[in-house]
Chain A
Amino acid sequence: MRAGGGESGRVASPGTDAPLIAVEHLTRYYGATRAVADVSFGMRRGEVAALLGPNGSGKSTVLRCLIGYLSPTGGRVRLDGRDVATHPVRARARIGYLPEQVTLYPDLTVRRYLRFVAGAKGLRAQRARAAADHVLETCGLAAVATRWNGTLSKGYRQRVGLAQALLGDPDVLVLDEPTVGLDPMQTVELRELLRSLARCTLLLSTHLLAEASQLCQRVIVLKAGRLVADDTPEGLAQCLAWTGSVVVRIDGPVADVRAALGAFAGVTSVDPGPVSAAAGTVYVVRAANPRDVQARLAALVVEHGWTLLEIRGEEPTLEDLFVRLVG
């Protein structure tokens, strides 16, 4: 795991492919408030990454600087070697962007809106029509093609937002909280759609850990505008092996059991587990090496004459990571 703001992240080393996106020491203030501080990372072609962080951590600001909508207060963003702030129109021609709040012209139908966007992205009449029809199909919008944007549900608006981002065959897709506000079914459908966009370089922001781990090869974690971690979901989980725990259900005197577990070699803490109607009491045992503790715990229970009803190891999750990094 790479940790700490201001590092170079995954910017390619000399001799390898240059990064398609290079965010270099990006800093952005809103008045006196610092939203992003010295954030650096790079992305290669075809990479799928998530910007992860709680609300107000600077995710949207990073994305808006990346698409050239906002100018950085310090540092810069380069797309294929060119500074986005000094060549915004050229950069935008290669980026498809889905804002956090998808706002559409209510007085246009879905098809007409997508044709307009195709034209605004430089496609001429025939190609604009064909491209609009293609994304209507890809995003499952054919059924609502003739409906007014203003009458669409949140789920369809989000799809139209994604469809407009896909128009013009962008090299890079930048999606700001693409599944926020969707119901579970719509979320699953949208994730499937995103998975099907294999050849795009995709950077999405989210505060949903499951989304990041399901969709992305890489997770960049922001906290209060600073980059605090940048690795694969698995890599991050490995670094947090210590957060693993053993859940054990034992029938025996609670105080004695807790004392014995707490004194057990390698155990760092013992917490009460969820209360259930089943026999025995559940304890959550955290340890530096949970697998080792799990193997020796059964012997301890037998030694004291208690009854071991259940024992299982719990792998660290991204939730644990998130709490540790930004909690």
Chain B
Amino acid sequence: MVPFAALLRKELRSYFGGSLWYLVAAAFLAYTGFYLHSDLVYFLTFGFGMNIMENFWQLVFFDVRLVLILSIPLLTMRLLAEEHRLGTLELLLTYPLSDQAVVAAKFFACLAAVAALLLATTTYPALVYAVQPFAVGPVAAGYLGLVLLSATCIAYGLFVSSLTGSQVLAGFLTVMPLFLLWLLSWNEAAVGADTVTVLRALSLFDHFQSFSVGVIELRDVFYFVFLTAVFWWGTLRVLEARQWRGRR
């Protein structure tokens, strides 16, 4: 446990002690703040008096989700790719740390960095609540959905980062599929109706739908946890493969 905690601290320090997280946070809050403003204007103009969860918070959560899938790759791309590039992975893996502990420390440090971004956005509901109180539970469910979605995206980003020594490539290969899935989640015309049905069943974004309206569906929770575990498993296999492949 002590070695895991030491690595977790180091990873947290590289997020919160460096400049990247603050740049991402600034952009993240600027974009989500803008979306909050435009969604609020939309709600006040066209939907005032209607269900605030479906007509306001759902839009906000969808928009935060979009900004998240563009931000998370910036935070995951360095996780293992940088260790590969610098060559520090060899030394790290000679300490009494299991591969699981290495993956867990990097995953939870990144999750904490993303959670800090989401925590900052809780000022939005706090501000709205100060003007017009609303039921807090459904919004909290929306946040739970964002955390679960983030966890899955981080696990995927960590997996991609374990495959390459190039941070740019890792970032690109993380953001592109996520962005494509997002595109397909609203643009049905892009592919056939049958394909959309299949993609939706698999899509991260449709499983987020119920959270965005304040409903926690167990199958959606299971879906995110399962997918996170799959990518986590994949990352472990990639790390393990170095024992067999290795470099001269």
Q: Does A35 contact B (CB under 8 A)?
A: yes
Among A56, A103, A124, A128, the residue within 8 A (CB) of B86 is A103
Please determine whether B3 and A69 come into contact, CB atoms closer than 8 angstroms: no
Nearest A residue (CB) for B14 = A107
Q: With A119-B5, A124-B2 known to touch, is A92 a contact of B96 (CB < 8 Å)?
A: yes
Among B5, B88, B93, B243, the residue within 8 A (CB) of A105 is B88
Shortest CB-to-CB span from A118 to chain B, Å, is 8
Among B5, B87, B94, B98, the residue within 8 A (CB) of A69 is B94
Residues 232-248 of chain B, each 1 if its beta carbon lies under 8 Å from chain A, else 0: 00000000001111101
Query: How distant is the Cα of A92 from the Cα of B94 in the complex, in angstroms?
Result: 6
Please determine whether A69 and B7 come into contact, CB atoms closer than 8 angstroms: no
> B residues within 8 A CB of A105?
10, 14, 86, 88
Among B93, B96, B246, B248, the residue within 8 A (CB) of A121 is B96
Nearest A residue (CB) for B247 = A30
> A residues within 8 A CB of B245?
30
Nearest A residue (CB) for B98 = A89
Please determine whether B95 and A71 come into contact, CB atoms closer than 8 angstroms: no
Q: Does B135 contact A (CB under 8 A)?
A: no
Q: Does A116 contact B (CB under 8 A)?
A: yes
Query: How distant is the Cα of A67 from the Cα of B92 in the complex, in angstroms?
Result: 12
Interface residues of B in 65-108 (CB under 8 A from A): 86-88, 90-98
Shortest CB-to-CB span from A271 to chain B, Å, is 38
Q: Does B49 contact A (CB under 8 A)?
A: no
Contact size range, B: 20 to 34
Please determine whether B86 and A69 come into contact, CB atoms closer than 8 angstroms: no
Nearest B residue (CB) for A102 = B91
Please determine whether B94 and A119 come into contact, CB atoms closer than 8 angstroms: no
Interface residues of A in 78-129 (CB under 8 A from B): 85, 88-90, 92-93, 95, 97, 99, 101-108, 116-124, 128
Query: How distant is the Cα of A92 from the Cα of B242 in the complex, in angstroms?
Result: 16
Please determine whether A71 and B3 come into contact, CB atoms closer than 8 angstroms: no
Residues 95-127 of chain B, each 1 if its beta carbon lies under 8 Å from chain A, else 0: 111100000000000000000000000000000
Please determine whether A92 and B95 come into contact, CB atoms closer than 8 angstroms: yes
> A residues within 8 A CB of B86?
103, 105-106
Shortest CB-to-CB span from A220 to chain B, Å, is 20
Query: How distant is the Cα of A99 from the Cα of B86 in the complex, in angstroms?
Result: 13
Nearest A residue (CB) for B243 = A71
Q: Does B37 contact A (CB under 8 A)?
A: no
Give the size of the chain A interface in residues (CB under 8 angstroms). 40
Q: Does A64 contact B (CB under 8 A)?
A: yes
Nearest B residue (CB) for A90 = B96
Q: Does A158 contact B (CB under 8 A)?
A: no
Interface residues of A in 11-41 (CB under 8 A from B): 30, 33, 35
Q: Does B18 contact A (CB under 8 A)?
A: yes
Shortest CB-to-CB span from A132 to chain B, Å, is 12
Q: Does A68 contact B (CB under 8 A)?
A: yes
> A residues within 8 A CB of B14?
105, 107
> A residues within 8 A CB of B92?
120
Q: With A67-B94, A124-B2 known to touch, is A35 a contact of B243 (CB < 8 Å)?
A: no
Shortest CB-to-CB span from A160 to chain B, Å, is 11
Q: With A35-B248, A119-B3, A122-B2 known to touch, is A99 a contact of B90 (CB < 8 Å)?
A: yes
A-B contact pairs, 22 of them (CB 8 A): A61-B248, A69-B93, A69-B94, A69-B243, A70-B246, A71-B243, A85-B243, A89-B96, A101-B87, A103-B86, A103-B87, A103-B90, A103-B91, A105-B14, A105-B86, A107-B18, A108-B10, A120-B96, A120-B97, A122-B2, A122-B3, A164-B91
Q: Could you tell me which B residues sit within 8 Å of A by CB distance? A: 2-3, 5-7, 9-10, 14, 17-18, 86-88, 90-98, 242-246, 248
Q: Could you tell me which A residues sit within 8 Å of B by CB distance? A: 30, 33, 35, 56, 60-61, 64, 67-71, 85, 88-90, 92-93, 95, 97, 99, 101-108, 116-124, 128, 164
Q: A99-B94, A119-B5, A120-B95 provided; 7 other pairs, C-beta below 8 A? A: A61-B246, A71-B244, A89-B96, A95-B94, A105-B10, A118-B6, A120-B7
